[in-house]
Amino acid sequence: MNPLTRRHFLTQAGLGATALSALMNDSSAATHFTAKAKRVIYLFQSGAPSQMDLFDPKPGLQARFDQDLPDSIRKGQRLTGMTATQERFPIAPSRYRFARHGKCGAWLSELLPHTAEVADELCFIKSMHTEAINHDPAITFFQTGAQLAGRPSIGSWLSYGLGSENSDLPAFVALLSNGSGNPMDQPLYDRLWGSGFLPTKHQGVKFRSQGDPVLFLSNPAGMNAPSRRRMLDDLARLNQMRLAELGDPEIATRIAQYELAYRMQTSVPELTDISKEPQSIFDLYGPESRTPGTFAANCLLARRLAERGVRFIQLFHRGWDQHTKLPKQIEGQCRDTDQPSAALVADLKQRGMLEDTLIVWGGEFGRTVYCQGRLSLEDYGRDHHPRCFTLWMAGGGIRGGTTHGETDDFSYNITRDPVHVHDLHATMLHCLGIDHTKLTFKFQGRHYRLTDVHGKVVKQVLV
């Protein structure tokens, strides 16, 4: 006779039923204090927008065109392999005009006329900095709080900590679009919205722009709804038997996800059918808002997801990696994103949803003041720059009409109020009522958290 194993003992004691019950019930939320925001819409600009061409004007650089970046500014800082061997680091001033906008007087480039119209709703953080200098580790860092793959993404942490407000839709949805600036930009991997070591129930669900919005949403030929229901009931009974035997929480996740998938067969087609939206909404979001898979269409879909209680909605827009031909490429990117981003802010505000929806707009790092490759008055490129860059936030818990942090005259170093990636994560969680030091998950003997052992809330940007 085999000795009684710990797993078998715990299973017989009810661990399997407990795991299933916990995964099927999302009603509890791990808030530590009153939340300002209920949900997040993260507009991730993959490839890294140039802060000095969009948000961080440096007019004094016009007189320094084609001069070498002073060593006193570069300070021997790390360079990428793409420019480390350049003989010179010639300064490339922005070719775009800047002006103040809104009552707050925020500086914005002429490339962002629609964003300028909602400037008083936005908080510009000009002192972001990160540790990664290449795209994959930098994007992974923003998504998971670590440069190496394997940790849960921020949306998964929120699904784990706060659960879902709508049992018929995932708590975490990812939407992808390709920019017109650099269509062959850095790839995006599904692990960026993965759940890492959290139960797979919390991973993001990618919505597609062609075919079924979610893979295998439609029943296959010959399968009708009653047949699908009977099949799922039989499968659930088999999985519950296995769960009772092993107590593996991933089996409980599988049961819960099959049920969610069944409910999504009704909820997702209704969600993605934008035909009943009024013309005024399409006018607000711009001419591409009727075209599935565009950033504009995804912004409109993000609002519809937010209305239906999805906890974390993340849009990834590729095309910002402008090492060469920046003026041509960045103008295309801004045409893609400026109007829809501003429209989302305005649309949520007119519906009374902005006050409890946190919006974040930004990329994985910034761009260099010096030119990569050939410099001319009409054309230039910029390399990766993790030392300082700009992102903006709006909505739930954020003080609109403010600018936080400063950079030097070259937009190369931070001179006031630095904000690290861990600080951003801590601040986002704070807006959602979560103490970032207390949202933890034990894995391989250690209690992990999104902010690792770092991070502080940036209280200056909060209402």
CATH code of the domain containing 69: 3.40.720
Is residue 325 a part of any domain in this protein? yes
Residue closest to 366 by CA, chosen among 148, 135, 181, 186: 135
Is residue 337 a part of any domain in this protein? yes
Q: Report the C-alpha dihedral over residues 335, 341, 347, 349, rounded to 10 degrees.
A: -140
Q: In sequence order, what DSSP letters do the residues of 294-317 get, joined into one string? A: SHHHHHHHHHHHHHTT-SEEEEEE
Cα 80 from Cα 103, distance rounded (Å): 40
Q: Please give the single-letter amino acid code of residue 332.
A: G
Quick one: pLDDT at residue 4? Answer: 38
Is residue 331 a part of any domain in this protein? yes
Quick one: pLDDT at residue 189? Answer: 93
CA 95: distance to chain centroid? 29
Cα angle, residue 212 at apex, residues 207 and 214 outer, rounded to 5°: 40
Provide the 10 A C-beta neighbour count for residue 101.
Answer: 19
Is residue 143 a part of any domain in this protein? yes
Quick one: pLDDT at residue 266? Answer: 87
Domain range for 442 is: 29-211+281-461
Cα 229 from Cα 226, distance rounded (Å): 5
Is residue 224 a part of any domain in this protein? no
Show Cβ contacts of residue 211 under 8 Å, excluding neighbours closer than 6 positions.
Answer: none
Quick one: pLDDT at residue 19? Answer: 45
Tell me the HSE value of 416 on the side-chain side, using a 13 A CA sphere. 7
Q: What are phi and psi of 462, to 5 degrees?
A: -95, 150
Residue closest to 367 by CA, chosen among 327, 323, 428, 408: 323
Quick one: pLDDT at residue 148? Answer: 97
Pairing of strands 357-362, 389-395: antiparallel
Quick one: pLDDT at residue 349? Answer: 98
Is residue 260 a part of any domain in this protein? no
Tally of domains within the chain = 1
Is residue 255 a part of any domain in this protein? no
Are the CB atoms for 142 and 181 separated by under 8 Å? no
Is residue 122 a part of any domain in this protein? yes
Instruction: Average pLDDT across each block of 10 residues of the chain; the chain has 463 residues. List them in order.
Output: 40 43 50 96 98 98 98 95 95 98 98 98 98 97 98 98 93 96 89 96 93 84 85 89 89 85 89 96 98 97 98 98 97 98 98 98 98 95 98 98 98 98 98 97 96 97 97
